[in-house]
Amino acid sequence: MRMRRFWVSLVGIALIAGTVWAAGPAVKVLIVDRTQTVLESMQLEVLARALLATGDFQLAAVTEPPRGPHPRGPFQFVVIVPERGEWVWVCTPTLPGKLPLELRAALQGLEEAIQRVFQGKRRPVDPGADLYPALWSAYFLKVGILEGIEG
């Protein structure tokens, strides 16, 4: 039964992802995967596949936060999935309310997908809601991982 819910969630995520983001340039996302369990690794795989299926995202993944520019960057968002806890930190180049409209929509869809994939066991937190992802965001901007916003 649990696995069935998991796949039903995948279909739901694909439907959400297909309706939230408009066609345009792909949003680049770096995922920092610190998970330690098979279930959470599978959930991240589902998240990645759902985001890629929209055609609106380009993804890269690492297991440690980068200390300098990534060869596929800079990115619009960095998603950090810590080893344990109830959060997924979504780092943004500025406060979510100051993002351009298309990135705000992508952030909303990304956060909804994270919630659905983790089925309430983890929830996304961005710099508008918590200091920790704000500090990571500032660091990623400084080292060239996040792309700055003009204006």
| The pLDDT of residue 4 | 44
What's the pTM value of the predicted model, to 2 decimals? 0.83
| The pLDDT of residue 151 | 53
1 in Cβ contact with 44 (< 8 Å): no
Segments of the chain assigned E as strands = 27-33, 57-62, 77-81, 87-91, 123-125
Chain centre distance of CA 35: 14
Q: If pLDDT is split at 50, 70 and 90, which confidence band does 24 have? A: low
